[in-house]
Amino acid sequence: MKKLFFCSISVLLLSSIAFAQEFEIKKYEINARVVPEEQKVVAQAKLRLVNLSDPDLAERILLSPDNKPRLSFFLNPKAKVEAMKVNGAAVQPKTAEDARNNLTRVYVEMTSAMTGLREFDVDLDYSIPATDRGAALHVSGEETFLLPA
């Protein structure tokens, strides 16, 4: 029951994708594992995205060196991204605090190779430490709960 609840919350956070580039989540799979010894939750998210963007997005990427379109996800503010892959190729994600939503924005800049694909896969591995007891996050040998922050 706890795992199902955690997965539901994670799906809500991950489905808050930035739609500036107009993507749709076609399929998702989230596996979460509670590690009480380390007081953390380890998650692996696999998403299949459909690119609904205009065909001129590739031109905007090439013509705009400073303001490139991004593929963004929002995670728990304590989340630590461990790895991210796009179509099996490792990418270096960047993170930033999103003060409006009290979440962490995880993003990669779109490349012209990504914009040419109508569908692609994103794998995101992250963990959420729960060393501080709080009303929203707690991991121990006896009980575990993770609520939206």
Q: What is residue 19's predicted lDDT score, i.e. its pLDDT? A: 34
Q: What is residue 5's predicted lDDT score, i.e. its pLDDT? A: 46
Q: Average pLDDT by consecutive 10-residue portion of the chain (149 residues)? A: 50 43 85 84 92 70 66 87 93 89 87 80 91 65 62
Number of residues assigned to the chain: 149
Nearest to 71 by CA among 44, 97, 109: 109
DSSP percent split of the chain into helix, strand, coil, nearest 5: 20, 45, 35
Q: What is residue 8's predicted lDDT score, i.e. its pLDDT? A: 47
Using CA atoms, how far residue 128 sits from 20, 36, 43, 69, in Å, is 27, 12, 8, 27
Nearest to 86 by CA among 120, 42, 62: 120
Q: What is residue 15's predicted lDDT score, i.e. its pLDDT? A: 44
- pTM (two decimals): 0.72
